[in-house]
A and B are shown apart, each in its own frame.
Chain A
Amino acid sequence: MTIIKAEKLTKTYQMGDIQVKALEQVDLEVEKAEFVSIMGPSGSGKSTLMHILGLLDNPTSGEVYIDGEKTSDLGEKKKADFRLKKIGFVFQFYSLLKGFDSLEQVVLPQILEDKPKEKAEGKAREALEKVGLGDRINHSPSELSGGQRQRVAVARAIAGNPDILIADESTSQLDTESSAEIMKLYREFAEEGQTVITVNHEEELGQKADRTIWLEDGKIKDRNR
């Protein structure tokens, strides 16, 4: 069952007098519970594609369907709800909030979802346990290593059981061991039924996915199942 469908996605940036095409006529379909890795050189449009699929940015033209819903028809509030309930996003640079401990970071999206406090905290603890930070729930980001911070970000993304998990170069700041652990986590999520799309800069990590898609100059060059 297709959960994400992108049709002829094009994204153009205006930089002074020059038009830069970050994405050009990209077609993509991702099945439910599939683990897909997007790879490609710097500037190939990987992050742009992730941002559009994660509803953080709009394409210049083309369409994205999530669970059969045409996202260009969604208003701002509905898009926020999609990001909250359907999509978990992990950024390259940890993206944690200062002054909040691990538990609070993970509870946050669920509070926005109006879940009762106890239920939200229960889910957050569960997610932190899952990423191996059960003993770090009251630590603030400054008390955690890079790998641990990224795992908190992963826990935050998965705590609400979103259908889709998108990770944009989430291992690029981590050492080999931490990167491998994170990829292992993604594999487990996919096995539990979540759709996982990651961007990887290292081919070895990318190969751990069910499928890798190679992007170059904003176009898909290779699909390897």
Chain B
Amino acid sequence: MNKAKFVAKLALRDIRGDRKISLIVVLMLSFSFLNLVFLPGFINGLSHTFTEGIIEGQTGHLAIESEEERLENADAVVQRISLLEGVENVEKVLETRVNAAYNGKSTSVVLKGTSAQNFEGYTSKMRTGKFLKEDSSEVVAGRFLTEDQSITSVEGIEIEQGRILRITGNNFSRELKVRGVIGTEAGIGGMSQKIYINYDDMEEITGTDDKADTVKIILDDRENVESFKNRLQELNTVGEIKTWDEQSNLADAINSTFTIVINILSIVGLIVALAAIGVVIFINASKRVREMGIVRAIGARKTRVIQIFVLEALIFGMAGVILGNIITLGIDSYLASNPIQSPVGPISTELSFTLLSTRSLGMLAASVIAGFIPAYLTSKTEIVETIENR
């Protein structure tokens, strides 16, 4: 046994001595860790669902717009970008405002022509029926059009899947079958208040050929947005390239707000964790004052006493962090396959390595601090006073 072993043995012996108490302490710390990580992770997930709604329905991760009126040679642009690594979907978009009428009711609504019939961002948001099919002149209605009253700027016209919708615009009027209804409960990203139509039909309606209002790009990883933008610029891509947060002030504001909330929650969580471990270690230190007096009486320096308490706190902290990580990742894994259904869409936790590692380190640091304070106070007590504390 050397000095380090002695310190470790004294610290471990106390932990092993009362296993039930030790288990309770570790559980308490692991739940403090869960509190520290889960809520920010959940809010991250909520923020992600919000922004994904906007990205999928409105902005894409990146959008290329013409600096003048409409992008020329849209097909070539789409094909070129589709071949790049990291691209999940490229979509040509043509939009125009139309009047939609059904059963005596009508509303002004955006008609969106899209080339992305198989884009999961659309297909997964279908409430009834299916999304658009190539070579089929049908439409998909936003869910607000199915209402019997006005919810946003769109007037509900009580349209349903399978019904015929009359769409009227500048120099055109058509009757089209509703193939399905799309949208989320809260209508994030505007999907719920538009009518979707195949791009080819939209070209016919607007009288355009190989032109697009925007080309929207979905990447397989949102983190790569800036680097992908740079890559597009290096490839001399025609048009103005904008990231999702440059296009949508709302998405940017939501993201920034959630970041503030997460930071506040993290600080509060860390204080709660610090207090919890501080109380536990302090009570433990109080129980062991006499023993520490004996250790000092036989020649141990104050630093050794502090080391014992700090090591004990660190062991508790590490056990709490490990168990906390296991519980958190278990819940995360469950929510990934069973997300919570909310009006803004399905929410699951979003735990980054940075979140887990910084909070783990924070918790360990909190443990060391919480262990150090009572240890320091105990080491300051006169030896005689501690020994007489029978």
Contact = CB atoms under 8 A, between A and B. Distances in A.
B303 to A, nearest CB: 9
A183 to B, nearest CB: 22
Contacts, number: 72
Contacts of B382: 56-57
Nearest to A104: B1
Contacts of B390: 93
Given A83-B297, A97-B295, A98-B13, A57 B302 contact: no
Nearest to A168: B387
Contact of B13 (A54, A85, A99, A108): A99
Given A56-B384, A98-B17, A83 B2 contact: no
A89 B384 contact: no
B294 A81 contact: no
A109 B3 CA distance: 10
A98 B387 CA distance: 15
B334 interface: no
Interface stretch (A35-43, A112-120, A131-139, A199-207): A112-120
Contacts of B300: 80, 84, 112
B2 A84 contact: no
Interface residues of A, number: 30
A51 interface: yes
Interface string A54-90: 1011000000000000000000110011011100010
A62 to B, nearest CB: 16
A189 interface: no
Contacts of A156: 298
A95 B383 CA distance: 13
A76 B384 contact: no
A98 B390 CA distance: 14
A113 B13 CA distance: 22
A89 B16 CA distance: 29
A111 interface: yes
A107 interface: yes
B359 interface: no
Nearest to B385: A57
A186 interface: no
Contacts of B383: 51, 56-57
28 contacts: A51-B383, A51-B384, A57-B382, A57-B384, A76-B301, A76-B302, A77-B301, A80-B296, A81-B299, A83-B296, A83-B298, A83-B299, A84-B299, A84-B300, A91-B297, A91-B387, A93-B390, A95-B297, A97-B291, A97-B295, A99-B16, A100-B9, A104-B1, A109-B298, A111-B2, A111-B6, A112-B3, A156-B298
